[in-house]
A = this chain, B = another copy of it.
Amino acid sequence: MRQLFAILVFAALTAHAMDAGEPLRGYTVEASATEAQWERKFREMPDPERLRRTMERLAARPHNAGSPYDKDNAEWLLAQLKSYGLEAQIEQFDALVPTPKLRLLELNGPAKYTAKLEEPTLAVDPTSGQKQEQLPTYNAYSHDGDVTAPLVYVNYGAPEDYEQLERLGVSVRGAIVIARYGKTWRGIKPKVAADHGAVGCIIYSDPRDDGYYDGGQYPEGGMRPAEGVQRGSVMDMPIYPGDPQTPGEGAVPGAKLIPLDQVKVITRIPVLPISYTDAKPFLEALQGPVAPENWRGALPFTYRVGPSAVTAHLAVQSNWDRKPLYDVIARIPGTRHPDQWVIRGNHHDAWVNGADDPVAGTSPELEEARALGQLLQQGWRPARTIVYCFWDGEEFGLLGSTEWAEAHAEELRRHAVAYINSDGNERGYLQAEGSHSLENFVNGVAKDIIDPETNMSVWERLRLVRLSKAAPGKRAELRSRPDLRIGALGSGSDYTVFIDHLGVPSVDIGYGGEDKGTQYHSIYDDIYFYEHFEDTTFVYGRALAQTAGTMAMRLADADILPMQFTDLAETVRGYVTEVKTLADSEREAAMERNTEISEGVYRALYDPKKKMVPPQPEPVPPYLNFAPLDQASADLTQAAAEYEAAYGKWSGNAPTGLNAKLMQTGEALTDPQGLPSRPWYENLIYAPGFYTGYEVKTLPGVREAIEQKQWTTANTEIERTAAALEREVDLLHSATLLLQK
């Protein structure tokens, strides 16, 4: 039998070839050539050895916001920036920064256990023993409280986990819940627990999600060890981030403070994070039904839901001090458009030593600033103003960036072009999320960055890696779509105030995906760990500096801002389809469930040896009027195409007023009323989920109203969201006319 080797022709490949002949988007042919030269010079400058030395300096000691070494780092960063010849300053704010006063967790009963709540010093790891300066393991912004109650295990503590508990006939009312880290952001866990009547919340790191399941434990391997603990804030940031006492206002000296007892973003119940070593006795005390399969971790016993026969005792108290924050801000004034600001940021504060989070991102940012300083000495001058920000207090609740942006809100609304964020950085593939008007721009930059391990562009590597993981139905797009898709931004880093509150187009970038281990928010996220298990040669730190710095330069120098709207329109069209599908599937699910109840499915599932609470029939969701959203999405598609056609014919100078229009395309998607029940979040396209915390909800007003079965709100939000999109359409029409003049 004839055996054929497929003859492989890659027509698609040509679509991905670097368009060497094409000028950079937004640049004339001549300007593009000049820009490319400066960018190439820039990308040769970031130095892995300098990145290593900067990490060794910044991560040498614990430097949480409010600590002495945090201030020391800020001053050192300032001095460095100045030494590069940049104009720089520290902007100081004050914010509520709680630190632990009392932490107690005990298991009562015959096998009495008192949790250690302590990450031990490791002999091989020199900074792990800096006990005097380490913040103990705790969750910042936990309610002060002292409770004794039986335990119930709630899996990741997401709303759907409580639905499952209800089916199992287990209530958390009056109980202390034990939740594992993962899936939802940690602050969601005590929030949803309190919603269901729990009186306390313990959060632990299961080795299934963050431990030996995926590899060797630190210090033999890179995974979280048995007594490692994830600190972290549990502030209810989906309501608003930043200083809890000054929502929407910069926490400058003299700012009016909400009294502590009226602050809505502090948890309603005490919360404490623990290691799996501390969690084991509590989990083993649980009785009741065996946990559903997707609730089970990697500890060697049967996971049960509870409740426990014995009680647990949890006591938490904080020092509720206001502390100074030191944002370090450098500016490179623009020549042609000094009032158009390209903003770049990464935080400098850490939970402890923070080698990965944030120093692996802070060091490249500093290296970018150094390189730009060198370019200035060589004669380069950016057309727009570039602002380099080193934020403080990110870990507590995006404090430094939020207070700065709130304090400068009016200026930013007028002047901000885009915000480029990074945070920790690791080894592997480009990870980029952001505003979809910048999707094409991000792709363009990614094609110019060389991956240090494969020597292909980071864009091509990412495309091929995605291809290797893609479902068969997704491969054609990866082979033909000119731009790789970027994800939407939720929350979890300093871009939040820019994109979600002010509407400034934002991107968040980093590298990672090759190493599984992390010591996230632990004393072990330090230099020894990073130099053994992460980007050990700092070549991905260099790649990050190259990527972010190229972005800043290319945005700053463009004749026409390189926003592109066909990607945005296509993405929004996808989101509209998603929310319509969601509404349909919610309706179909309710009908199916009601049908199954009537048919006797739950009678058939009756098992006399198990407790099961069958669901009750529920109202079938009504049809919603999606017409305004469909119309707006279609209008946006057309307006984006028209702008693109007009841009395609452009040559010569940028039409007067065009960039000003483009600078409004971010804010156009916001609404000053904000989202239902959280007015600080003004962006109607992107927001962190009210019940996911970090994970994005796109078209959030519409999507969350459907998820929460608020049908009247859903219809209102469809109209508000459609109106925002129509504002974008109007701007694009104006921009197109300017280009056609």
Contacts and interface: CB of A to CB of B under 8 A. Distances in A.
A13 B600 CA distance: 11
A605 interface: yes
Interface string A184-209: 00000000000000000000000100
B221 A454 contact: no
Interface in A453-502: 453-454, 456, 460-461, 463-465, 467-468, 472, 475
A290 B454 contact: no
A583 to B, nearest CB: 13
A712 interface: yes
A595 B467 CA distance: 11
A102 interface: no
A603 interface: yes
Given A467-B599, A599-B467, A302 B221 contact: yes
A601 interface: yes
Contact residues on A (Cβ < 8 Å of other chain), bracket: 35 or more
B596 A467 contact: yes
Nearest to A608: B453
Given A592-B475, A608-B453, A600 B464 contact: yes
B6 A595 contact: yes
Copies in the assembly, this chain: 2
Contacts of A608: 453
Contacts of A110: none
B302 A3 contact: no
Contact of A594 (B5, B215, B590, B604): B5
Contacts of A595: 6, 8
A298 interface: yes
Contacts of A516: 290
Nearest to A223: B302
A212 interface: yes
Contacts of A468: 596, 601-602, 604-605
Interface stretch (A616-624, A668-676, A694-702): A616-624
Given A5-B617, A6-B590, A472-B588, 4 more contacts: A6-B620, A8-B598, A290-B516, A468-B605
Interface of A: 1-6, 8, 10, 13, 207, 212-217, 221, 223, 290, 296, 298-302, 453-454, 456, 460-461, 463-465, 467-468, 472, 475, 514-516, 588, 590-592, 594-596, 598-609, 617, 619-620, 622, 711-712
